[in-house]
């Protein structure tokens, strides 16, 4: 069934993959984006009569309200994403990542559906075994994670909402981000041939950008049995440390060198093993492995070498 879907931040890293997929599935999609990165990542869908684009700021009620009123489903992707960017602009992080979503929730009717990406970085260091399920305590450290936790709490007070706690995303996208960990390390392997690791034993979970797009479509198709729930979304066979990630990259880039050094600190202090059993129990399956992603990044980076494809 075709739905009217509003995607805020739809020209970003996730949205540039997700929006074409939603259009291909027959939905009518409106994108609201301020195009702060001057991205051209949705040019290839402008021919589609079901695609509409609005340039604007999600913090301005007069812009957001009429778009929300026309939507069956809202996917709020617009955000300052990641701890480094939020630290650079803490006011923007609060007004965009929290206040704008609070405004959106105020404008929604009870019947409208919200599918929200949050982050599993909120788990911090997990429990004594560093193992996390959706029921694990949240210990957000960075401003980014704290704002996501706060807005998820507000979101889940609604009946018609789903929160996806995304693992660290990787893979090529029309609006590329090189600053995500797998993307970053693979870029360094290709162009620098080395990386210096800090806290190399810290583990985290990963998920391909196309699998993120797929889980949102899965939620639309299975909404009645998934609503009002929080789901971790990641690769169950990819709870790996930074060092193990480098070893995987090295199998495809043999002259890649990595060394441990007692310098630096992860701003999120992420060190955990995440269970994705709950989303898998809904019959969702990921399609792209970590090795698949590294392989496609290697191909992508043969065409890409500059410093504009990131958030900071």
Looking at residue 13, its pLDDT comes to 97
CB atoms within 10 A of CB 250: 15
Average pLDDT over residues 47-54: 98
- Domain positions in the chain: 4-301
CA atoms of 256 and 247, how far apart (whole Å): 9
Q: What is the mean pLDDT of the chain?
A: 93
Spatial separation of the C-alpha atoms in residues 122 and 144, rounded to whole Å? 9
CATH of region 4-301: 3.40.50.720
Across residues 86-103, what is the average pLDDT?
93
With a cut of 70, say whether residue 308 has pLDDT above it: no
Q: What pLDDT, on a 0 to 100 scale, did the predictor assign at position 12?
A: 97
Residue 286 has pLDDT above 90, yes or no: yes
Return the closest-CA partner of residue 204 out of 264, 155, 267, 284: 267
Average pLDDT for 206-219: 98
Per residue in 232-248, pLDDT (tens digit) is 999 999 999 999 999 99
Average pLDDT value for residue range 281-299: 98
Q: Check residue 127 and give its pLDDT.
A: 57
The predicted structure's pLDDT at residue 134? 96
In the predicted model, is pLDDT for residue 20 greater than 90? yes
- Whether the per-residue pLDDT at 158 is higher than 60: the answer is yes
């Amino acid at each position: 069934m075709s739905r009217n879907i509003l995607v805020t931040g739809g020209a970003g890293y996730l949205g540039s993959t997700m929006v074409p997929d939603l259009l291909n599935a027959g939905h009518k999609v409106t994108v609201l984006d301020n195009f702060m990165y001057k991205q051209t990542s949705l040019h290839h869908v402008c021919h589609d009569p079901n695609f509409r684009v609005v340039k604007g700021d999600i913090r301005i009620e007069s812009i957001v309200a009429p778009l929300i009123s026309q939507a069956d489903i809202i996917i709020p992707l617009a955000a300052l994403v990641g701890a480094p960017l939020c630290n650079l602009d803490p006011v923007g992080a609060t007004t965009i990542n929290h206040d704008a979503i609070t405004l959106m929730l105020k404008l929604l009717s009870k019947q409208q559906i919200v599918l929200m990406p949050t982050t599993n970085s909120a788990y911090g260091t997990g429990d004594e075994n560093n193992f996390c399920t959706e029921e694990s305590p949240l210990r957000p450290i960075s401003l980014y994670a704290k704002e996501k936790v706060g807005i998820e709490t507000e979101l889940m007070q609604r009946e018609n909402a789903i929160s996806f706690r995304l693992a660290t995303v990787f893979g090529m996208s029309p609006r590329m981000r090189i600053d995500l960990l797998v993307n970053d390390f693979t870029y360094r392997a290709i162009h620098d041939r080395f990386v210096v690791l800090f806290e190399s034993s810290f583990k985290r979970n990963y998920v391909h950008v196309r699998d993120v797009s797929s889980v949102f479509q899965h939620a639309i198709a299975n909404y009645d049995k998934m609503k009002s729930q929080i789901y971790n979304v990641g690769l169950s066979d990819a709870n790996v440390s930074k060092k193990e990630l480098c070893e995987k990259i090295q199998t495809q880039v043999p002259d890649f060198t990595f060394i441990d050094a007692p310098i630096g600190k992860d701003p999120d202090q992420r060190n955990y093993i995440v269970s994705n059993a709950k989303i898998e129990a809904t019959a969702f399956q990921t399609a792209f492995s970590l090795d698949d992603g590294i392989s496609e990044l290697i191909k992508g980076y043969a065409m890409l070498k500059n410093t504009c494809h990131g958030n900071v």
